[in-house]
Amino acid sequence: MPKMKTKSSAKKRFKLTASGKVRASQANKQHGMIKRTNKQLRNQRGTQILAECDAKIVRKFLPNG
């Protein structure tokens, strides 16, 4: 059976942690920062751990998931 290919879009957007959880960047942070409050921007820095129901879907597209 051939190797499963990784989805390139998933590879760029998600990473697996050592314990197997899926880490993703915060949503709604690409553009339009002027209309958001400073509190919102502070809270959207960095990454977040996906909920388990979403992580199941994403893991299918990652190579070691």
What does the pLDDT look like over 29-65, one tens digit per residue? Answer: 889 889 999 999 999 999 999 999 999 999 999 887 7
Q: Name all domains of the chain by residue range, CATH numbers in brackets.
A: 8-59 (4.10.410.60)
Residue 57: the pLDDT is 94
Residue 18: the pLDDT is 94
Residue 6: the pLDDT is 85
Residue 36: the pLDDT is 93
Residue 64: the pLDDT is 77
Beta strands in 1-65 (DSSP E): 14-16, 22-25, 47-49
Residue with structure tokens 């400073």?
38
